[in-house]
Structure 1
Amino acid sequence: MLEVTALGWTLTIGVIVALLALDLAVGVLRPHAVGFREAAVWSVFYIAVAIAFGFVFASIAGWDFGAQYFAGYIVEKSLSVDNLFVFVIIMSTFAVPEKYQQEVLTFGIIIALVLRVIFIALGATLLSLFSFMFLIFGLLLVFTAVQLFRHRDEDPDVDDNALVKASRRLLPVTDDYVDGKMITRVDGRRMVTPLFIVLIAIGSSDLLFALDSIPAVFGVTSEAYIVFAANAFALLGLRALFFLVKGLLDRLVYLSTGLSLILAFIGVKLILHWLHEDVWHDAPEISTPVSLGVILVVLTVTTVASLIKSRNDPAAKAHAGSMRAHRTREEKRS
């Protein structure tokens, strides 16, 4: 079992908060359209920081725990790319001006990080108290994988988001973005801007991704510290990664298929772990190195196959995948 001192937690949280403050300063205090070069520099920086942390952590805690961190980081990073698909859809649906997209993304990342901290604490507590939660988490991931694979050629429908619909119905919303403000006054009346609704849409999508990603990362490590660190470092680079790859996302046509395979694999791993611990002690277990290898192979094959497909069929377009089939216009009206 990994023993992390109060000082270790404090230093880790301090580094993450400092990086978050840096991201906030870049994305909110200086709103501007982000170019490819700037996005590339920041993306490389955040990935380098995550890798450096992994090597430092492994040298202190041992390479077994280090492998668990890198496996968790890769899982969360790959899931975050799918999250970017949804961000792109939301930004396009609400026609968010480029100079305000950084602000929305940064606050969206903060919301995602807070939600993950809550779910990590809850997940770690449940797993320590009830071993059958490994079975529950495993079945949840397998179900998610099946649904994602079934609807891999669809995109989430923002119009079906309950929070967005309720906000539009209950809150007075301005017609334009009002200099990037979220709340403003028009003729003495307090109103929210479309940017506020966009943040609600992103925050609610973050909640859904947290429900999937936390069980997934607990499938490669049971250590709450590693789960937290892997999630935090994977999320911190999302803002820059969004601007770096948003023009390339359409080419990753098999990403949803690859993610569904990864989620199903981790789900099976959790179920086997439950069987081994509670039912049948001779049940096979999947080691961390094997998990890391499978995840890397699936992501590599998915990426290469996507690029080949896009090159041979320029009309092919990637989709974020959806947990349910879309309703028709007639069904929405009814």
Structure 2
Amino acid sequence: MTQDPQTPARARRRIKITQESVVFAISAVLFVIFSIFLNNFLTQGNLLALLKNVAILGTLATGMGFIVVGRGIDLTMVAVMVVGVAFAIWLSSQGFGFGQAILIGGLLVVACGLITGILIAVADIPPIFATLAMASVVYGGGRVAFNSDVLYAPANIGWLTFIGSGTVFGIPASVAIFAALAALIALFLQVTRFGRFVYATGDNPNTARTMGLPTRPVLISQYVVAALIAYIAGILLTGLVSGINTRLYNSTLIYDVLLVVVLGGISLSGGQGGVRNVIVGTVLVGILINGMTILNFSYTSQNLIKSLILLAALALDAVINPRDEQTSQSGDI
């Protein structure tokens, strides 16, 4: 009996290894190792803390992933998050109801996203420079206005308390909200015409523009949506810790978010990946940070390790998704 010479090639195609599957496997291995060798890792308190931290990181990464799929980047997310929520809390201290304050803070966040999107889509400023400058403006304006590092939300706000300590079918409310948001964005990208426009713009902005797609409105809308997602992450954080620390802007959180996105497998070349990649990357980074914290790694050591992993992920992305001449000339980050 003769063997079909194409059989090995077909088998290799069926057993295709992706970055997403590799990251998922590493996450599982790390979880098992930490469970065996770290005494406090499998405790209920630690697992709850891990899930709640993952909810904040994953929510921010969902917004960043939404931007990166369209071949952009948004360094304003943490600034918008802390200033938007701080503004809402400040309004509540000036006599506004907390619900009203949250809505007005949302309008501020939408304005920030709109300005950022216009700078990128209309003024043609590269996203990395536009968002870096905008982040400094937003944070600096917030610092001048509030003149305080930490602002605490009013006590006895039922829905905010539920976000911090409530559960949905036994799952922490913040995790359930993150899961619902991730599902909504995934559906939005995969099913709607706007989602297809985002992928097309990320794949090749010049071709998308030539085909008559509304690339500028798409870009502007992306940054507005990302700003609102960052605001939701800020509300989740406020529910968990009863306030917001504006100095969080000076932390490495934005780089953790980028690490999640790139590590999960969303290419910086645009037009590829989705929310599933964000979830995989969030799980790995969440487990890694939690394990390093239990091992009592210093803040500097943790940042060094995460930076090395980010560099490795960027190098891997460059190898897996090389940019040809046509791609490199269109829509550079």
User: TM-score normalised to the size of structure 2?
Assistant: 0.34
TM-score (norm 1): 0.34
